[in-house]
Chain A
Amino acid sequence: MGHGALTVVARPVLLEVVHLQKVYAQRGRQTVAVRDLHFRVAENEFLAVVGPSGCGKTTMLRLLAGLLPPTSGQVLLRGQPVTAPPPEMVLVFQDYGRSLCAWRSVARNVQFALEHTRWSAAERRARVDHALSIVGLSEFRDHYPWELSGGMQQRLQIARALAYGPRILLMDEPFGSLDALTRADLEDQLLDIWTHEPKTIVFVTHDIEEAVYLADRVLVLSARPSVVVEEVVIDLPRPRDQIATRSLEAFVRYRNHIFTRIRREVAQAAAGALAAPAVS
Chain B
Amino acid sequence: MQRGALPAGVAEGGVDARRAWAAPWAPAALGLALRRQALGLATLAALLVVWEAASRTRLLNPQLVPPVTDILATFGQLWTDRPFPQQTFVTQTVATLWRMAVGYVAAAVLGIGLGLLMGRSRAVADLFWPLIEFLRPTPPVALIPVLLLLVGIGDQMRLIIIAFAALFPILLNTIDGVRGVHPTLLDVARTFRFRGLALLRRVIFPAALPQIVAGLRISLAIALIVALVSEMVGATNGLGYFILQQQRGLRIRETYAAMVQLALVGLVLNALFVAVERRVLAWHRQSTGQA
Direct contact of A and B (CB under 8 A): yes
Whole-angstrom distance from the CB of B253 to the nearest CB of chain A?
50
Task: Evaluate contact between B185 and A101: CB separation under 8 angstroms.
Answer: yes
Looking at the complex, which one of A65, A95, A116, A146 makes contact with B184 (CB distance below 8 Å)? A95
Give Cα A115 to B285, complex, Å: 25
Candidates B182, B193, B202; contact of A98 at CB < 8 Å: B182
0 or 1 for each of B51-85: is its CB under 8 Å from A? (1 = yes) = 00000000000000000000000000000000000
Contact B192 A164 (CB under 8 A): yes
A7 CB to closest chain B CB, in angstroms? 31
Q: Which of A142-166 contact B (CB under 8 A)?
A: 144, 146, 164
Asked if B194 lies at the interface with its beta carbon under 8 angstroms from chain A, I say yes
| Contacts between the two chains (Cβ within 8 Å), count | 59
Q: Count chain B residues whose beta carbon lies closer than 8 angstroms to a beta carbon of A.
A: 22
Q: Given the complex, which residues of A lie within 8 Å of B190, measured CB to CB?
A: 67, 84-85
Nearest residue (CB) in B for A177 is B291
Q: In the complex, are the beta carbons of B206 and A67 less than 8 A apart?
A: no
Number of chain A residues close to chain B: CB under 8 A: 26
Is residue B138 within 8 Å, beta carbon to beta carbon, of the partner chain? no
Q: Which of A212-247 contact B (CB under 8 A)?
A: none
Contact yes or no, A115 B202, CB < 8 A: yes
Q: Does A55 contact B (CB under 8 A)?
A: no
The CA of A98 and the CA of B184, in the complex, are separated in Å by: 6
Q: How far is the CA of A144 from the CA of B203 in the complex (A)?
A: 16
Pairwise interchain contact A101-B203, C-beta atoms closer than 8 A = yes
Asked if B191 and A91 sit within 8 Å, CB to CB, the answer is yes
List A contacts of B284 (CB < 8 A): 102-103
Closest A residue to B192 by CB, please name it. Answer: A113
Nearest CB of A to B277, in Å: 14
A115 and B203 alpha carbons, distance in the complex (Å):
12
A residues with CB within 8 A of B: 62, 65, 67, 84-85, 87, 89-91, 93, 95, 97-99, 101-104, 112-113, 115-116, 144, 146, 164, 177
B residues neighboring A (CB under 8 Å): 182, 184-185, 187-188, 190-194, 198, 202-203, 206-207, 209, 283-285, 287, 290-291
